[in-house]
Each structure stands twice: as C-alpha cells, then as structure tokens.
Amino acid sequence: MKPILHRRRTLRDVAKAAGVSLSTASNALNATGRVNRQTRETVLQIATEIGFMPNALARGLLSRRSFTIGMLTNDTYGRLTLPMMAGVSESLVDHGISVFLCATNNDPRRAQLHLQALLARQVDGIIITGTRRDLTPAVELSGLPVPVVYAFAEGPAQTISFVPDDAHGARLAVEHLRSLGRSRIVHITGPMDYLAARIRAAAYRQICGDASEVRYGAWTEEWGYEATQAIFSRAGDRPDAIFCGSDEIARGVIDALRDLELSVPGDVAIAGYDNWEVIARQTRPPLTTVDMELKEVGRRAGLAMLALTRGEEIAPGVVELPCRLVIGRSCGG
C-alpha cells in the first residue's frame, strides 16, 4: 500500500491564498501584532479551509522549546508505567506537550542510546520512572541540559522525586484491620532489600508494637502460601489478620488459608497492597487493598516538569503522595 502523501500545508500556503505576507498570516493566527479584524478572519478561515497546522519542528527550532518530554522506564511489563504515563499525559497534553516513551529493559547501553536520542530531539525535560523506589538509574543523569524528575523512584540528592507514601499505605491497611477488631496481625511482604518493603514494615511495627511479626520473602503468590503454612503450623496464638505486601502475596495467603480450612475474612482478615485490579477484584473474596495512586504520582511528576520547563524553581526532595484504601470483602466489616 502506497499512501497518498499530499504535501503538508505551510504558513506560506495560507499567506499566499489570503494575499498577505508571512508575518501577517502568522500574526493573525497567533493573535499577536497588529492585524485588521477583517484580515485576521480571512486568514483564519483559509487556514482551517486548507487544513493548515503549524510545523512543530520549525516552531521548536525557533523557540528553543520542543514541547516534548522523554520518559525513561525500566518496566517491561507495563503494570506500573502505563498508569503513570496516563497521569503524566493528563497533566501535559493540555499544555501541548507530547511524551516520548523509552523502554530501557534495564539495559544501560539501551538507556544511554535513548537518552542521547532524547537530548538530540531537544526534549524540554526527562522523567525517570522505576519499578521500585530505591533503584539507581541505569545511566548518568547529572549535568544534563534539561530538568529531570523521578517518578516511583528516588533520585539522588538535589533532585525531585515523587513516590507513593509507603508508610501511609501501610498505616491505612493496618489501622483498617485494627478498627475491625483484629489484634494479632502479621505482615508478609517482599524481599528485605526493597526500601518500600522496609518502610511499610516499619510503619506496621510502629502500630502493632510487640505483637508485630514481619516475614520478608518474595513478591509472589508462592511465598504468600508458604509463609502462611509456616505461620499456622506452629504452636501458640494464631493471627486473626494478615497484612500482605502485595496482592499476589495476598492471593497466595488466601489460597493457603483455604487449604487450612480457615475462612476469609471470618477466621483471618486479609489486606493486600497494589490494587492490581486483575488480581484484587477477581480473588475470592475480592481484596481490600492499598492503591498507590500511580496515576496521581505521574500527574504530579508531570506538573513538576511543567513548572521546571517554565524556569520556575522547585525545592528538591522526595515527595511522598498519599495512598488510598480500596475496600473489598477480604477484611469483613
């Protein structure tokens, strides 16, 4: 298939058709300078008639702003990136900014390649997103000629980052469980080398005090199953609630409880984390879980970027954004 590539219309076409000069046509379209009302209307009408659309390349060349930004992600799966992307887009599309998405696949060489390409394209800024908040970027980013913002990843000192408030998320879940009368709550979560896991565990410990018990492992269903088996096979008091570090873990936990012939939430209440809809909503019972509001994280990062590209100053630091508790049926109440 060979598409008909009719040459795109330029300002010159508009000017010629309207019988005015380039500058007048430009002024008319942008409502700048001094243009007679009648003239302006003629130009506007002709512009829409022939489908004129200003060439963003030429514009960017002149203004030294491309009205584009780059987003570098190492997420191959998309579960974190796309919601954030939606937030970024949402905050920027109305300001005429488009987003280059670059998947690095955790390959430093590829990341470097993408970065070079973005800079060559004169992006106005770069947003780095990670799959965990304590991941060092695969590429050197200091001394760039454009502002950098981190989303779902903590940048180095003197940079700006937006991350979910893990402590807040953990408190939401744990306090919800306690408000429902549960007192023997254990916490099954992911690997200890995840900063997010440690922060959530600390928040949980602060609330539950001496009664607290944290089990670090993996972000998998299997680990949730295994940990639950271990917990319920030993002697002594049995927990009446489990706060899980992810919805996948929660799912494994519920599976194990079913095999142990314990009811959820009757015998044990379960709280998840992530609000990964496909899991959370389809688990039986549907999970009560913590939503990290990734879209909002993206939106805030986009807004910060917008301010920076305008030359406004923003205080560096890590901004922690509140989470939201999604009520399912796994905690009862």
Partner DNA sequence: CAAATCTGCAAAAACCTTTTTGCATTTCTC
Partner DNA sequence: GAGAAATGCAAAAAGGTTTTTGCAGATTTG
- Rama region for 229: left / alpha / beta (φ>0; ψ in -120 to 50; rest): alpha
Contact track, its own copies, 140-159, x by CB under 8 A: ---xxxxxx---------xx
Tell whether residue 261 is a contact of its own copies (CB under 8 A): no
Q: Which position among 61, 192, 211, 230 is part of the footprint of its own copies (CB under 8 A)?
A: 61
**Which SS3 state, helix, strand or coil, does residue 309 take?**
helix
Contact track, its own copies, 175-214, x by CB under 8 A: ----------------------------------------
Question: By CB under 8 A, which span of 31-39, 60-68, 172-180, 318-326 interacts with its own copies?
Answer: 60-68
Query: Within 10 A of 229 (CB to CB), how many other CB atoms are there?
Result: 15
Closer CB to its own copies, residue 199 or residue 303?
A: 303
Q: CB of 32 within 8 A of CB of 62?
A: no
- Rama region for 50: left / alpha / beta (φ>0; ψ in -120 to 50; rest): alpha
Q: How far is the CB of 56 from DNA (least distance, A)?
A: 8
Q: CB of 287 within 8 A of CB of 279?
A: yes
Q: 49 to 88, contacts with DNA by CB under 7 A?
A: 52-55, 58-59, 61-64
- The Cα 74–Cα 62 span in angstroms is 33
Displacement of CA 204 from its chain's centroid (Å): 24
Contact track, DNA, 4-33, x by CB under 7 A: ----x-xxx------xxxxxx-xx-xx-xx
Question: Which residues bind to DNA, rule: CB under 7 A?
Answer: 8, 10-12, 19-24, 26-27, 29-30, 32-40, 52-55, 58-59, 61-64
